[in-house]
Copies of this chain bind each other. A is one copy, B any other.
């Protein structure tokens, strides 16, 4: 028997019994659909393989995709809207980085210090997840390959030059659909 700790959509602390380890992701999907989360966002954000990005099952971490009124692809997680950004590969003498997709948002005054990442100038942002490198893991995909209205990679805008954390406009952050 396993016991899985959640924070519900209302912020309550709930533990759910799980029969066996192989049922764990199912239970995370089930409650994640309600916006329940388990644990904190790792510092620097969740790390997933790039090849998992197009059909990643966001319910695994209590999040969901959302297209904002301006048509931008975003992800909602615990009431915060994170914007999808494509980062080009970097191959200079100083840095060597494979291409990546990052979901991040501008930092708010109430964000604790350790989740804030510095960008150019004064701007600070918070990363929910980064998809980069690695080997696709089937267990992270939406079961049955049903894309469930998720934006397709075919519709990806041209990648922005790195570093490209454009501040999410205040109105978007605030208009988060509940």
**A164 on interface, CB distance cutoff 8 Å:** no
Interface residues on A, range: 35 or more
Pick the contact of A109: B60, B96, B117 (CB < 8 A): B117
Tell me how many chains of this kind the complex includes: 5
Pick the contact of A4: B13, B42, B132 (CB < 8 A): B13
**A112 on interface, CB distance cutoff 8 Å:** yes
Inter-subunit contact B3/A178 (CB<8 Å)? no
Inter-subunit contact A175/B38 (CB<8 Å)? no
Q: Shortest CB–CB separation between residue A25 and chain B, in angstroms? A: 8
Inter-subunit contact B2/A15 (CB<8 Å)? yes
Inter-subunit contact A178/B110 (CB<8 Å)? no
Inter-subunit contact A175/B14 (CB<8 Å)? no
**A24 on interface, CB distance cutoff 8 Å:** yes
Looking at A13, A21, A42, A96, the one whose CB has the most chain B CB atoms below 10 A away is A13
Q: Shortest CB–CB separation between residue A13 and chain B, in angstroms? A: 4
Chain B residues near A134: list those with CB within 8 A: 177-178
Chain B residues near A31: list those with CB within 8 A: 21
State whether A14 and B24 are in contact (beta carbons under 8 Å apart), knowing that A47-B176, A133-B177 are contacts in the complex: yes
**A156 on interface, CB distance cutoff 8 Å:** no
**A150 on interface, CB distance cutoff 8 Å:** no
Q: Shortest CB–CB separation between residue A171 and chain B, in angstroms? A: 4
